[in-house]
Chain A
Amino acid sequence: GENVEQHPSTLSVQEGDSAVIKCTYSDSASNYFPWYKQELGKRPQLIIDIRSNVGEKKDQRIAVTLNKTAKHFSLHITETQPEDSAVYFCAARGNQFYFGTGTSLTVIP
C-alpha cells in the first residue's frame, strides 16, 4: 500500500511568519493530494487539495506544491495567525486515502 511520510511532527512559529509542512509518498499511482486541518476535539476538515496534473495551487494564505517526479508535496501557510494552530495532515489517494503522521502547528501570538 501507499506510505506517506510527513515532517515536521511539531512546528512552532511566531504570528505573521510562514509555516511549511512537507510530505512524501511512495505509490506513483496516487493522483490526488488533500490537506486536512484538525482542531482539538474535532474532525479533520479539508483546507486545500491538489491533483497530479497540477504543480501548484493557492487559496489566500495557503498554498500547496506538488512534485510528482520526486513524489513530494508541501503545504505553505503565510502570515500565520493564532487560529491556524491545529494538527495538519497530508494525504495521498490511490485506491484509498493514506494519511501522513500529522504536524502539530502552534502559532505564538
Chain B
Amino acid sequence: DTAVSQTPKYLVTQMGNDKSIKCEQNLGHDTMYWYKQDSKKFLKIMFSYNNKELIINETVPNRFSPKSPDKAHLNLHINSLELGDSAVYFCASSQVTGTEAFFGQGTRLTVV
C-alpha cells in the first residue's frame, strides 16, 4: 500500500491557468505538508497543516492555497500559474510529535 500518494505525477499547463494537486496519506498521521523543490534541488516548506493549525511560509504567494477536506487529505490549489511555479511539488505527512516525514512521489509541474 502506498503510504503517501499524490496525483498527478506530471502536470503541464499554460500560464494563467488554475490547477490542483491532490495528496492522500493512509498512515493515520495528523500533520501534512507541501514542499516545493526547485531546479537547484532546494526543498522549501510551503505549508504544514493539522486539524488545529495551518502554518504558512511567509514567502509563499497567496495564489497557493492548501485545502484539507479531512485528516487524510491535503490538496494544493494554485491560481494564475506563472512560469516560476515550475518545480516538483512534494506532499508529506508525519505525526505531530517528532517522527519522520513520509513523502509522496512528487508532482512535476511545468508551466509553459
Q: Which residues of A contact B (CB under 8 A)?
A: 1, 31-32, 34, 38, 42-46, 49, 51, 87, 89, 91, 93, 95-99, 101-102, 104
Contacts and interface: CB of A to CB of B under 8 A. Distances in A.
Contacts, number: 50
B90 A97 contact: no
A32 B99 contact: yes
A34 B42 contact: no
A43 B103 contact: yes
B48 to A, nearest CB: 5
A96 B55 contact: yes
A44 B45 contact: no
Given A45-B103, A95-B48, A102 B98 contact: no
Given A43-B104, A43-B105, A93 B41 contact: no
B100 A101 contact: no
A49 to B, nearest CB: 6
A93 B98 contact: yes
Q: What bracket does the count of chain B residues touching chain A fall in?
A: 20 to 34
A48 B45 CA distance: 20
A34 B100 contact: yes
Contacts of A98: 45
Contacts of B45: 96-99
Contact of B33 (A45, A46, A96, A101): A96
B100 A89 contact: no
A44 B33 CA distance: 14
A26 to B, nearest CB: 15
A97 B41 contact: no
B60 interface: no
12 contacts: A1-B57, A32-B99, A34-B100, A43-B103, A43-B105, A95-B48, A97-B48, A98-B45, A99-B45, A101-B40, A102-B42, A102-B43
B106 interface: yes
B94 interface: yes
